[in-house]
Each structure stands twice: as structure tokens, then as C-alpha cells.
Amino acid sequence: MSTEANGEAESQARPLLSSEVSPLAQSTSQVAVVGANLCPIESLDYEISENDFFKQDWRTNSTVQIFQYVFMKWLLCFLIGGIVSLVGFCNNLAVETVAGIKFVVISYMMLAQRSVMAFVVFSVSNLMLTLLAALITAFVSSAAAGSGIPEVKAYLNGVDAPGIFSLKTLFVKIIGSISAVSSSLLVGKAGPMVHIGACVASLLGQGGSKKYGLTWSWLRFFKNDRDRRDLVTCGSAAGIAAAFRAPIGGLLFALEEMVSWWRSALLWRAFFTTAIVAIILVGLIDFCDSGKCGPFGKGGLIMFDVSSTNVSYDLWDVPPVLLLGVLGGLFGSLYNFLLDRVVQVYNSITGKCSGYKILLACFISIFTSCLLFGLPWLSSCLPCPADAEVVCPTVGQAGNYKKFQCPPGHYNDLASLIFNTNDDAIKNLFSKGTDNEFQYSSILIFFGTCFFLSIISYGIVSPTGLYVPVIVTGASYGRLIAMLVGSHSTLNHGIFAVLGAASFLGGTMRATVSACVILLELTNNLLMLPLMMLVLLASKTVADAFNNNIYDLIMKAKGFPYLEAHAEPFMRQLTVSDVVKGPLQLFHGIERVGNVVQVLRTTTHNGFPVIDESPLSESPVLYGLILRAHLIELLKKKAFLSSTEPTGIDVSEQFSVVDFAKKGSGNADKIEDVDVTNEEENMFLDLHPFTNTSPYTVVETMSLAKALILLRQVGLRHLLVIPKIYGRSPVVGILTRHDFMPEDILSSHPALTRSRWKGWRLTLPRWLNPH
Amino acid sequence: MSTEANGEAESQARPLLSSEVSPLAQSTSQVAVVGANLCPIESLDYEISENDFFKQDWRTNSTVQIFQYVFMKWLLCFLIGGIVSLVGFCNNLAVETVAGIKFVVISYMMLAQRSVMAFVVFSVSNLMLTLLAALITAFVSSAAAGSGIPEVKAYLNGVDAPGIFSLKTLFVKIIGSISAVSSSLLVGKAGPMVHIGACVASLLGQGGSKKYGLTWSWLRFFKNDRDRRDLVTCGSAAGIAAAFRAPIGGLLFALEEMVSWWRSALLWRAFFTTAIVAIILVGLIDFCDSGKCGPFGKGGLIMFDVSSTNVSYDLWDVPPVLLLGVLGGLFGSLYNFLLDRVVQVYNSITGKCSGYKILLACFISIFTSCLLFGLPWLSSCLPCPADAEVVCPTVGQAGNYKKFQCPPGHYNDLASLIFNTNDDAIKNLFSKGTDNEFQYSSILIFFGTCFFLSIISYGIVSPTGLYVPVIVTGASYGRLIAMLVGSHSTLNHGIFAVLGAASFLGGTMRATVSACVILLELTNNLLMLPLMMLVLLASKTVADAFNNNIYDLIMKAKGFPYLEAHAEPFMRQLTVSDVVKGPLQLFHGIERVGNVVQVLRTTTHNGFPVIDESPLSESPVLYGLILRAHLIELLKKKAFLSSTEPTGIDVSEQFSVVDFAKKGSGNADKIEDVDVTNEEENMFLDLHPFTNTSPYTVVETMSLAKALILLRQVGLRHLLVIPKIYGRSPVVGILTRHDFMPEDILSSHPALTRSRWKGWRLTLPRWLNPH
């Protein structure tokens, strides 16, 4: 099973069963596909950049190269911003147009009282669109399924799931997202936009494609993990910025939710990227406002107008707002719980079979169509308001007053919400001056529908975001509370809807600062800030008492070895020698080729300690750490010696830095591709110039908690364990992120489980857990 | 000289002369006072919390204590927010009232054409206010001089300058800031507010005062560096939030400019704090708007109304905006250069003498008064606009139309800018619909005056901020550009002023994201975002080509051993053994009391390795690291043994965790306070239970660059160096932040200077420098 071989990829010393990685990985196919081949990336670039060979690095070389690097860095950010904003814009325009045409056709049919025909058109078009999304996702790139945010977040933590940043994934994500969103499924586009942004960034940084000759030598500087991760961070910020036209919100989202390592310089570059997105979007929207983008070009990406006048509120508004927050926390944690379960159930039903997955998607689509078309019949018709500023009922365009089955001069408020894109529904709910537009029953039904549909829609094999559904759902119960509070509050219903959306975002994503700023930028009203903050505080606090945020739950279900920033208390009771296990594979400074090949073929480790023994050194000493990728490169170049004597040949003639550059995502060389003759097997390799001579080390008595802090804070891939008392080998083990997964440690130290669970019980209300 | 003893405080192995710490520290008195007694704090809490004794820590103990900790954590944030917002509000109200009364009196005198009398009143009141600020600063707390931001930034990096967070400093900072700002000096209140916020946070976290019985046992959890630093971060965010009523801006300011270590949980808590500030300020301003805060209660802290309608702009507006950005970069770097020089000149003039410093402050005040009163006479009078919405000329209140020497029905535009508080001047410059209110000459004179006066005012012995002067100066040349561009741009002059302020902030502070958000929150107009970003990008890029940001320059001048996040290229050429120097002081697990006392008395090191030799261990092994503070505590408690045999006495009976808690800033116990009799000197101390058994270690061949990354990323105070080959002592040295200061390393390895300067020359335009 492939998971087994690769799940262990990082672990030097421990035969790790796939079931240990994730109990789910065996039974669930989507998980198995994505969770397989996990290969932690070299987290920061310290490890690779400090062998003798790399010391003659370009960074200290010449002004020209430094200029090239800096120029490219900013150019790439500019390109990321430009491309992501264009994709976001086209995405939005396509959804507005496809869905708009669909709704207009249905609207005309309903006007002509041909409701059966309307239903057939509605459900068939939805089914076709869903099918398109599901087919390309299942057969072209299954890594494009779901939101993408958990994958990008795991990548930024150092977990490189295969194929998440390939060109195929990008293509599927764009097309799939457009068709899924316009198919009336309750899925969003923000998550996919984040993934698209990250994809664009990774592909740009990867330096085009060597296969197709589309590469540029200036891009060689980005062939390392740190620069690529920086680009991906900027890309994910650009994604949110493009989805919501919220540049600061996008920046804060990347900062709060995505990154594991943060630097001040990154803030500045991500800000530049989101600024480019904002500037281009403003230009494009201006262009569309003049009517050049088709009949539906004015929809979407437009800021919601909650209230341009001053928002005034007093102390009496605090209780309903607090209630909203608490409700948001309760609903949010319930939502997370249910979503997690539903995804697991889906995975156990469909298994790995693409056919079943597509069938499931079709079923969900048909079910959604039936529900959406059927529910408005439950709602009673309302007479059109006399002072309506727009035509009522709406004819031939998006609008707040859908006639549906109602008699002339009347509109169906539930249909108005349902037969619009989610963006337009949000706009309806957020808008001021619409306090009497909706009935209790309609809003209640709409809330239930959204809550339910968004949970069952997420897990299908298609790009599906969570942000927009969460906002719609939150806005609907915000409206509900507003109607219950009625005239007891000075706030208008639109503001309650915004606060409801904030509370639900706080309850599910647990993103506070970014959610707040995104909503403020959407509504362009900074005066709402205090209320927004209050509601987010309440909802996050309540929801944290029950479970984790939705992305962490999904990541856990996918079996990503995500490394938390803080150590669990029981790790203080252990030393690193408690988790290191043998046998340790190591190489000598001058190693027989056959040995290297055999070790690389029989293990999947990514790093090996190199030691020097006599005659090179009096007693065995640790020389450093060599990476698998570099060994394979050496074998491919056949830089062999005929004897164990170091020759002193200048390696820089044989190799260039580019040979050791990080390959693009999923393009790493494999040992199976290396052919070595019998004769060559008895030759030798001088590993010294390619060994990182300054690996980070810990003494075997170091507490596990502190070793974790070192691994996490410095962003290491390997940590060498050296003995406390001399006499044995100069290195006793190697630690990787897999050795720090709490579940694995507890399974091999069951005695700690009690203390862990005691710890958990104590801190069961998670908000009591100090972090 | 005190600097010498304490500048070395951290350095185990190297007799560090004060001149090595900072060439300036010897000649400049303000620097010497502040730079003396520098004592890096235990940066993260990992070092102290992992000895045997602390393993029975409260964190794993009981639910009640965890609840206490979490409750206190949020309560403290709430209190910080509440107190800082109240201080900010009172500060503002006091300035508005004091300055308001002064300006009204002068205004009436000018109306009565008694200009000599007006000048006397103006200059004498200014002098008195300046004198008050200077006197309390010089004699009560000299740590309150200047902005305070560099000190807080250094503290958050791990450098604890003495007295910066004392109650005296807080008092001086509040009163001094009010009187300095209202004395018409061109100084701001934002920097002092940041310091005030940090002070409040530190004092609250310190747990009141034991001396006065004002303490609470629940506060014991905060007696460690990490929690205290978290509180100070929240406090500094609250400071900016209160100064500008900009909660998100304050948060981002702390994140971008202040913190060295950032965690996601901190974002959330700082956000809570700034939210409290925002909510309380909204309430207080509402209260004042109803006229209950005296005649000047409506001024200040009110948002600037740049434009409530949509800001529309097109491509033709980009060139002037870019020009603004470039100018901002040029002016900004010039400003930084001049300010740095002026502060140095002041220090060399006044030396350590408080009298000279006060004289200098008085001179600057008189000079400022003369200049401000004299300049408006150069400006010609303008007729009052016919359609003015307010009374023109202004009588008896703050306003845009000061009559000054003009005939009735006319106003003096320069006087309108000068005879107002800085806040009101900014409001005038930022406001829309005032495109014809100012003349070229007046704005030009105002710009020159602000630029010049803010440079000469910063260095005086008084709390002086830089933020507001920078905004005023930037706004004035923004207006100037607007008048030059004239009708070629669709933007109104107020927007140009905002963009000018942004460009100058970008040029001096180099804060991009936070400056942008603060200005957006001040003007409440998110639509200006793209232009603001453009201008900030341009100004920061241009200014970075010349010098560093203003706070870093001031920190450097003060000699703080600030630890940068990235290693300099030449550090890759060195190993840690190149910077470690002997002799190393170490202790044995069971050590003679006399030895401990003698070592503590003769050195100033803060941490000592502990080794075990026979009979405790076959061969010498490193047991761990013990801190000076803990040794002193042991000596004070006289927990002595009569022989070298470990007794197995339970130390937890003799000590409680509180004994080893971090003392308040500047309250550390001193070895001089410990009395040990001759008899006791021959007894023994069992150091084992108090030794941190998991110190971070590096092998002596580790590259210096990577050791720096470890020290910085994990936030360590000490780093033990262990030998590569066994045979000598199990520990060969100890590294602290002082060992990583580039200047010190270069002075002992002059050969590297060439490669460093080569590096510098290569990257002379700093924007070419990859970071």
C-alpha cells in the first residue's frame, strides 16, 4: 500500500504503519489519495544551504545575481497579484453569467407559469454543471477537491501533499469552482481562490516547465523551499483578497490562518501582492460598471452597502449582539462537528471509486435542486412594496423581488434568496432599508437550508469553498435575530446580518482578526468595528469550548502530520531518546556506491547522518547530514571515485547549484530511475562537499518538548540526536516531524495516555487551555 | 563606570568594554543612562521552566489554577485596554483644553491688536509647559524621555533597559507628554502612548507592589518573561489604538514594528485589547459630543472627514501619487539622517548634566515660540470665503480661519495651521472642500517649519513622539503637491494630504501595512486603499535605499543589543568556536557555597553551566544550566548542605515556585544583598533540583549563522557550546546575544571586515539586499 511506504518517508528509525499515521487513512479513499505520498519539505532553507558546495552560493556572489533575485521576487509578487485578480474576476463574472442566465430562464418560465418545465431546466442545468465539476475533479486532478485551504496550510507548515500545486490542479480548481458555484450547490469560491492563488504562486516560482522549455534562468533562485513558501503565502493572501476584494483582510487571513513561520519582510511582500489585486480589481470593476462585461457584469465583487450613514448604537444593543455571538459559537461548533462526520461518512461510502464519488455528487445536486425549488412553495407571497426602488417583481435580471409562483404584484421572499447567486443573497441580506422584506418563516427555512446544504455539499468530489456558505448561513440567522429583536434595537437588519455572518465565521473558522477585517472591507464601514469584535470574541470563545476550527479538523482527517507550535504537556516528561528508535542508517564520508544505492532503495528516509572514522579522523565524529535528493543527484551524475582516497577534485566543475535546486512539487527524482552497473557499485562517493556540516543537534537527554520547539521554531526537517556520554556512535538517532505526532508517541508510551487524558479532561473546555 | 559592569552582564566569556557595546555610550549621557544596566531578559520561558523543581509546575497541576491563569490573562488584557483608553482620552482632552485655552487667549489678544502681549503669553506659557515636562523627565524618570517605542521594541526583543516600565516612568510619560504636546513643541503623543500602554501592561502583569501590599496571588502566573512580554505587546498595540482610535492599525503596528516573536494566540489577545480600547473610546467620545467635557471636549480623537462620497480616480492620478511616494522616501531618509545626527549632537552638548538638558529644552521652546509667532506675519491675509460654513475669522474656539494680524473679514492661513493643536492642523489639512483655503507660500513655510522643528524637538529631555509630527509634515507637502497638480487631478487636496502623510510615514518609520491601516482608520475611507498602498510602496522602497528606519537608528544610538532576525552573510564563514572565549565559569552539581558567592561577586554572568564529575558520574558530563537569579535565591534561603552527599531532602518543602518567579523590571536581587558567614561558606549547595537539565546546545563546529537562528527563533538567553570531540570539558563555552553583535565579531575578526564591507557595498542600495 502506497501510504505505508510514503507515510514513513520521513521517519528514519521507526517502521511506521499507515494506521499509525491516521486511523482514517485506510478506510477512506479521498484521504488515502491525498494523504499518501506525504513528504515534508525542507522547511526553512538552512539545512540545504550550508554544505561546502552551497557556501559558494549566489547570495554572496555578485551584484547582478542579487539584483536578479530581488527583481524577480517583486516581479513574481506582481504577477501573482495580477494573475490571481484576473482569475478572481473571470471566476466571478463566469459564475454571475452562467447562474444569471439560468435564473433568468427559470424566472421567465415561472412568469409563464410553466413551473414543471422550470424545475426540469433548473435541476438538469445544475446536474450538468455539478457533473462537469465532479468529472474533471475525479479524473484530472483529485487534489483539487474540497476547499484547498487545509492543503495550503499544511504546505506552509512543511507538509507537501502530492499534486496540490500542479497545473492540472489549477485548471480543475478554476473550471470546477465556476461550475460548482453556478450549479446552485451551496459551496463557496473563496477557499478555491486561496488554493488557486497558492497554485499560481507555486507554478510561477517553480520556473515554468523544463519539459516544455518554458523556463528562465532568473527563476533558479526560487528553487528552494523558503522562497517557494513565501510565494505561496503571498498567493494565498491574494486569493482571499481577490475573492472578497479585501486586501487587508487577505493579508491578515494569510497571517492568522495560513502561515506557520512569519517574518516581517513577508508582511510587506504579501501586502504588495494584495495591493496589486485590489488595484486591478478596482480597474476591472470600473470597466464592468460601464456595461462592457455583459448583462451580468455588474454583479459580484461589488461592496455591500450596509449603511453609508453613521452607525449609531447604544448599550441596549449589546445583549442581542452578544446573543448573536453565543449562537454563532454554538452553531459553529455544531457545524464543524457535523461537517467532519459527513466527510468521513462520504469517504467510507464511496471508498476510492471515482464512479461512486461522481454518483454521490450527482445525487447531492439533484437533492439540492429539489429542495431549492420546492421550498419557496412553502413561503407565502408578499405584496410588492409601494416605494420599491427597483421593479417588483424582478424580471429578467438579478434582484430582490422574485415573483416565482406568486400572483402579479407580489413576490416570494424565499425565492428571492434562493434563486440568486450566493453573493447576491448575501447582498440582499446585508442591505439596509429592507427590514420588512422578509418573513420569519422564510428566513428560518433559508437558514436551515443553508446550514444543512453547505454541510452535505462540502465533501463531494469538486472544488468547494466554505467561506461564502458560512457567511450566507450566518447572515440569515443574523436577520432572524434582528426580526425577533425588532424595534428594541436601533440597528437595522442589514447590520444584524453582517454581525451574524461574523459570528458564524468566528464559530467555524475561528478566524477573528481576518474575519473582522474582511467583513469590514466588504461593507466598507469601520464604525461597526466594536460590535464586530464583540461578536467575534463571543463566538470564538464559545465554539473553542467544543472543538477545533474546521480547517484543523479537515487536516486531521486527511492525516497531514501538521506540527503544532506548542508542545503538549506530556512531552515534558519524555526525552528525545524515548522516541528515537533504531536501527539508524548512516553513511561514511567516503562511502561505497553500492551501499548508498542499497540504503536508498530499501529505505524511504530523506536525510542521513554522515560520520568520519579512521583514517580520516582519530575517533568516529559526526561530519554532518546529507539529503536523499542530493545523493540521488550524485548517483545520477556518476561522480564516483575509484578508491577511498579523497581526490581533491573541484566539485564545482562537475556540479552547479541548479543541480541541487529543489524540484517542483511532485517532481522529485526517484532512486528507481538511477542505473548503476556492478562495476560502479564498488566505486566510492566523496560525500563531504555535499554534506551539511552544521546540522542542528540535540543531546539525547533533551526534553521532547524543547526539541519540538527547536524543530518547529527553526523550521527543521531533521534533527540529529547526539549521545550525552561519549563511547558509542557519535550520533544516536535522527528526529523528524513524524516523531513528534502526539498520537504516535502516546501509542508507544501508553503510560502517558493517562496523564494526557487527565490533561485533556482538565482542559476539556478548550478555552481554559492556556496557549 | 556603570556601563562597563552591566554592559557585560550577559557575556560569559569575554571582557566586554563598554566602548565595544556602543561607541556612543561613553560620550553621550542620555545614551549612557538608558544604555547602562542593560540586562537581556529570559526570552521565552523554556529555560527557566524545565528544571526538576519547575516540572511540578502549576500548569499541569489543577483546574483551578488553569482557570485562574486564563481568567487573569483576559482580565489583564481588559484592564490594559480600559486603562490605556482612559489615559489616551484624558491625555487628549488635557492637551485640547490646555492648548485650546492658550490659543483662545492669544486669539483674543490679537483681535485687540495687542500682539506683543500675545507673544509674551504664547512664549511664556510654552516655556512653562516645556519646563514642567523637562523637569519631571530629568529628575523623576529619565527613562521617559523620547518616544519610548525603541525601548519597548528592544524589550520585546529581549533587552530590558532599567526603569522603562516603572510607575515613575508611567507618571512622567503621561504628565510630560501632555505638557510637551500642549507647549506648541512639534512633538507627538503616539509614541508616548505606546510606552504608556507597555508600562501599564508591565505594571499590571508585575502583580502590583509587594512593598505596599498591593499584590494578588493570582498574578503569580505572570511573573515570567513570556507572559509579561505578551502583555507588553498587547499594551503597545493598545497605545497606538488609543492614540489614533485605530484598533486594527494598533494591532498591525505591534505586529509589524514591535514584536520579535509572534504567535497566533497573541494576535487574538492583542485584538481583544485594541477592541476594548476602541469600544471605550467610542463611548467616551459620544459622551463628550454631548458637551460634557468642557469647551474643548469635542476636539481630538474624532475621525478626519476626508470624503464621505466615493473617491474616484483614474490612471492620470498615478503619476502625482507616485511622485508623492518618491518625495516621501527622499524626505523620510533625510529626516532620519538629520534626526539621528541632531540627537547625537544634543547628547554631546549636554553630556550627563540634567541642568544642560533642561536649558536645551527651554532654548528649543523659546526658539519654537519665536518661529511660530513670527512666521505668520510673512503670510498675506486672505479674504474670508463667502460660503464658509463656520464663522470666519474664527473667534474663541479652534477653527480653520484664524484672524491673527489680518483686517476684519480676512484670515491668515498660516496662523490657522500654527495656532491649533497638531491634531487640528492635521484635520484642517486632511479635510475636503478646502482646496482654496491655503496659499502656496504658507503651505511651503509650514512644511519647512514642521520638518525642521520636529527634528530639533525630538531629542530634548521630555516625552516626545514622532508619529504626529511626521503626519503633519507629510500632510503639508501632500497639500503642496496637490496645489501644484491643481485641476489636473480629480483627487481633492485633502486626499493628497493623506497620501503625503502616508508617504512620509513610509519614508521615516518604514511601517507600511500599519501606517496604511492607521490612516485608513483615521479617515474612515477604505476606497483610498490602492492609492495609499502605491504611495507607501514607493516611499519605503526609495527610503530603504539610503538608511534604516528611525526606530532602529535610535536603538542603535542607544546601544541596545538588538538581535536581528537574519544572520549577516559573514556569519556563515565563522563557527561558534570562533566567538566563544574563555575562561568559562562553571559549577559542579554539589558546589561549595564560598565558590558560588565568589563567582557571583566577581562576574556579572547570568547563567552558568553545571557539570557532574566523579563520584556522581564516571566521567564529567554536562548536567545543565543554572541562572544567577536562582543561585541568589538559594543563597538567600540558605538551603545549604553540610557535606557533598546529596541528602534527598524534598526541596519543594523549602521553596515555592513563587520564589523563583521573575522579579519586576529592575527589581532583581543582587548578590551584594546576600550575607554568608565564614562557616556557611564551607558548606555546600545541591544545585541539581534548580538546574535546567535541557539547555539548548550547539556543537562547537556549528556555523555562527545557524547558532544565531537558533538563539533568535527559539528566543534563548544562553546557548551552551559542547565539544565536537570528547576529551576536554563537556562544555566549552556559553553564547549570549552579545556574542552575535556584528560590530563585536568584526572587531575581533578584522579579516572578515573586508568581506562584510564588500557585502555592504554590494547591497548598498538596501532594497537590493535580499531579506
DSSP codes of every residue in B620-667 = -EEEEEEEHHHHHHHHHHT--BSSSS-----HHHH--GGGGSPPPTT-
Burial zone of B362 (CB within 10 Å; 0-12 exposed, 13-18 middle, 19+ buried):
middle
**Length of chain B as a residue count:** 771
CB A96 within 8 A of CB A397: no
pLDDT at A395: 67
What span, in angstroms and rounded, lies between the C-alpha atoms of A304 and A520? 10
Q: A29 vs chain B: nearest CA distance in angstroms?
A: 33
Q: Are A539 and A599 members of one domain?
A: no
From chain B residues 291-320, the ones with a CB under 8 A of any chain A CB are 308
Q: Which residues pair with A744 in a beta bridge?
A: none
Kindly list the residues from chain B whose CB atom is less than 8 angstroms away from the CB atom of residue A44.
709
- Whether B26 and B32 have beta carbons less than 8 Å apart is answered as yes
Q: Are residues A335 and A424 in the same domain?
A: yes
The pLDDT of residue B465 is above 60: yes
Preferred mutation among B222, B263, B268 to probe A, highest tally of A CBs within 10 A: B268
CATH code, domain carrying B162: 1.10.3080.10
Distance CA B314, CA A86 (A): 19
**Cβ neighbours of residue A645 under 8 Å, at least 6 residues apart?**
none
**pLDDT attached to residue B260:** 85
Lowest-pLDDT range of A138-152, A745-759, B411-425? A745-759
Q: Which of B153, B305, B313, B725 to mutate to test the interface with A (most CBs of A within 10 A)?
A: B725
B714: nearest CB among A60, A703, A713: A713
Cβ separation of A66 and B725 shorter than 8 Å?
no
Instruction: For B765, list phi and psi in degrees, rounded to 5.
Output: -70, 110
A762 → closest Cβ in B66, B247, B267 = B66
Closest CA to B714 of A745, A733, A702, A511: A702
What sections of A545-650 are H helices per DSSP? 550-557, 576-579, 593-602, 628-637
Q: Does the CB of B5 have a partner CB in chain A at under 8 Å?
A: no
Residue of A nearest to B247 (CA): A529
> ∠A279-A281-A287 over CA atoms, to 5°?
110
Q: Are residues B190 and B339 in the same domain?
A: no
Residue A405 falls inside a structural domain: no
Calculate the dihedral angle through the C-alpha atoms of A331, A336, A338, A340, rounding to the nearest 10 degrees: 180
Cell numbers for A173, please give them: 480548481
Q: Does B524 touch chain A (CB under 8 A)?
A: yes
Q: How far apart are CA A453 and CA A468, in angstroms?
A: 13
Those of residues 8-27 in A touching chain B at CB distance below 8 A are none
Q: Which residues contact B44 (CB under 8 A, 6 or more apart)?
A: A709, B225, B226, B261, B714, B715, B716
Q: Which residue of B has its CA nearest to A520?
A: B526
Question: Which among A470, A480, A458 is positioned nearest to A504, based on CA atoms?
Answer: A470
Q: Say how many C-beta atoms besides its own lie within 10 A of residue A391's C-beta.
A: 12
For residues B12 and B92, which has the higher predicted lDDT (pLDDT)? B92
Asked if residues B462 and B354 have their Cβ atoms less than 8 Å apart, the reply is no
Single-letter amino acid code for the residue at B275: A
Same domain, B252 and B163: yes
> Chain A window 586-645: which residues touch B at a Cβ cutoff of 8 Å?
618-619, 621-622
pLDDT of residue B701: 86
pLDDT computed for residue B705 by the predictor: 86
- CB-CB under 8 Å, A706 with B696: yes
Could you tell me if B504 and B430 lie in one domain? yes
CA distance A232 to A211: 23
Of B275, B290, B305, which residue is a domain's last?
B290
Contacts of B81 in chain A (CB under 8 A): none
Does the beta-carbon distance from B278 to A66 stay under 8 Å?
Answer: no
Is A456:A364 a contact under the CB 8 Å cutoff? Answer: yes
Q: Answer whether A770 sits within 8 Å of B308, measured CB to CB.
A: no
Q: What is the CA radius of gyration of chain A?
A: 28
Residue B473 clears pLDDT 60, i.e. is over it: yes
Q: Is the pLDDT of residue B503 over 80?
A: yes
Q: Which of A690, A708, A741 is the last residue of a domain?
A: A690
Question: Most confidently modeled of A690-694, B536-540, B745-749?
Answer: B536-540
Mutate to test the interface with B, among A694, A722, A767 (most CBs of B within 10 A): A694
The 10s digit of each residue's pLDDT in B251-260 is: 889 988 888 8
Per-residue pLDDT, A764: 40
In angstroms, rounded to a whole number, what is the distance separating the alpha carbons of residues B202 and B166?
Answer: 8
Helix (H) or strand (E) holding B721: strand B719-722
Q: What pLDDT sits at residue B327?
A: 93
- What's the gap in Å between the CA of A638 and the closest CA on chain B? 29
For residue A622, the distance in angstroms to the closest alpha carbon of chain B comes to 8
User: How many whole angstroms separate alpha carbon A722 and alpha carbon A736?
Assistant: 15
Name residues whose C-beta falls within 8 Å of residue A463's C-beta, 6 or more positions apart in sequence.
A133, A137, A144, A145, A146, A147, A148, A172, A173, A176, A177, A180, A187, A191, A192, A195
User: Is the minimum CB–CB distance between B268 and chain A shorter than 8 Å?
Assistant: yes
Residue B700, in any domain of the structure: no
Residue B703 is nearest to which of A50, A537, A706, comparing CB atoms? A50
Determine contact, residues A621/B724, Cβ cutoff 8 Å.
yes
> Do B334 and B481 have their domain in common?
yes
Q: How many CB atoms lie within 10 A of CB B672?
A: 9
Closest CA to A737 of A6, A162, A11, A4: A11
Residue A754 in contact with partner chain B when CB distance is under 8 A: no
Per-residue pLDDT tens digits for B278-323: 888 878 887 887 777 776 666 555 455 555 455 666 777 888 889 9
DSSP string of B159-179, one letter each residue: EE-TTTTSHHHHHHHHHHHHH
B701 close contact with A: CB closer than 8 A: yes
B541 CB burial (10 A radius; 0-12, 13-18, 19+): buried
Task: Give B-chain residues touching A514 at CB under 8 angstroms.
Answer: none
**What's the Cα-to-Cα distance from A680 to each of A628, A655, A683, rounded to whole Å?**
19, 19, 5
Residues B86 and B185 in one domain: yes
ipTM over 0.85: no
Report which of A514, A522, A506 is spatially closest to residue A252, judged by C-alpha positions.
A514
Structure-block grid coordinates of residue A577: 531518546
pLDDT one-digit tens code per residue, A62-107? 667 777 778 888 889 999 999 999 999 999 889 888 988 888 888 8
Chain B's closest residue to A66, CA to CA, is B768
Number of domains making up chain B: 3
**A701 contacts B698? CB cut-off 8 A:** no
Residue B615 lies in a domain: no
Q: How far is A531 from chain B (nearest CA, A)?
A: 8
Per DSSP, helices labelled H in A8-62 are 18-21, 29-35, 52-55
Name the CA dihedral angle for B465, B467, B472, B476, rounded to a multiple of 10 degrees. 130
Q: What percent of chain A is modeled with pLDDT above 70?
A: 79
Do A282 and A319 lie in one domain? The reply is no
Which residue, A671, A690, A709, sits at the end of a domain?
Answer: A690
Amino acid at A382: L
What is the pLDDT at residue A756? 47
How far apart, in Å, are the Cα atoms of A118 and each of A105, A115, A425, B347?
8, 5, 20, 83
The confidence score (pLDDT) of residue A363 equals 94
Choose between A170 and B262: higher pLDDT.
A170
A663 pLDDT tier (thresholds 50, 70, 90): low
Tell me the C-alpha distance between B192 and B198, whole Å.
10
Shared-domain flag, residues A367 and A516: yes
B contacts of A69 (beta carbons < 8 Å): 770
Q: Which residues of A touch B265 (CB under 8 A)?
A: 771
Q: DSSP string covering A302-352, please?
A: SPP-S-SSPP---GGGHHHHHHHHHHHHHHHHHHHHHHHHHHHHHHHHHTT
Same-domain status, B196 and B329: no
Establish if A111 belongs to a structural domain.
Answer: yes
Tell me the CB-side half-sphere exposure of residue A642, using CA atoms within 13 A: 0
B34 touches B558 (CB < 8 A): yes
Cα of first residue to Cα of last residue in chain B, in angstroms, is 38
By C-alpha distance, the chain B residue nearest A310 is B308
B180 is a domain residue: yes
Q: How many CB pairs under 8 A join A and B?
A: 198
CB contact under 8 A, A256 and B263: no
**Residue A144, C-alpha cell as written in the block:** 483539487
Q: Can you give the three-state secondary structure of A75-94, one letter per residue? A: HHHHHHHHHHHHHHHHHHHH
Does A512 contact B271 at a Cβ distance shorter than 8 Å?
yes
What is this structure's pTM? 0.84
Domain limits for position B241 = 63-290
Q: What is the DSSP string of B67-114?
A: HHHHHHHHHHHHHHHHHHHHHHHHHHHHHHHHHHHHHHHHHHHHHTT-
Q: Which of the listed ranges A39-43, A47-51, A437-441 does the model predict with the highest average pLDDT?
A: A437-441
**Yes or no, beta carbons of B697 and A696 under 8 Å apart:** no
**Hey, is the C-beta of A322 within 8 angstroms of any chain B C-beta?**
no
Rounded to a whole number of angstroms, the distance between the first and last alpha carbons of chain A is 38
For residue A627, tell me if it sits in a domain.
yes
**Which cell goes with B643?**
557535606
- Of all residues in chain B, what percent carry a pLDDT higher than 70? 79
Interchain contact B544–A (C-beta under 8 A): no
How far does Cα B88 stand from its chain's mean position?
Answer: 17
- Residue B769 has a pLDDT of 41
Cα R_g (chain B), whole angstroms: 28
Residues in chain B within 8 Å Cβ distance of A527: 524
Question: How many Cα atoms are found within 13 Å in the side-chain-facing hemisphere of A293?
Answer: 22
Q: Are residues B594 and B546 part of one domain? A: no
Interchain contact A167–B (C-beta under 8 A):
no
Predicted pLDDT of residue A729: 79
Using an 8 Å CB-CB cutoff, list chain B residues near A513. 248, 251, 267-268, 271
Does any domain span residue B260?
yes
Of the candidates A50, A517, A540, which has its C-beta nearest B706's C-beta? A50
Strand partners, B6: none
Give B452: exposed, middle or buried? Use CB within 10 Å, 0-12, 13-18, 19+. middle
Is B728 strand, coil or helix?
strand
Mean pLDDT for the stretch of residues A600-612: 86
Q: Which amino acid is located at A223 in the chain?
A: K
How buried is B174 (Cβ within 10 angstroms: 0-12 exposed, 13-18 middle, 19+ buried)? buried
Torsion of CA B674, B679, B681, B685, to 10 degrees: -90
Q: How far is A476 from chain B (nearest CA, A)?
A: 25
Record: contact A529-B268, CB cut-off 8 A: no
Strands A590-592 and A684-686, how do they pair?
antiparallel
Pairing verdict, β B382-383 and B410-411:
antiparallel
* Mean pLDDT value across chain B: 79
Between B411 and A500, where is the model more confident? Answer: A500
Closest-CA distance, A533 to chain B, in angstroms, reads: 6
- Residues A502, A433, single domain; the answer is yes
| B519 occurs within a structural domain | yes
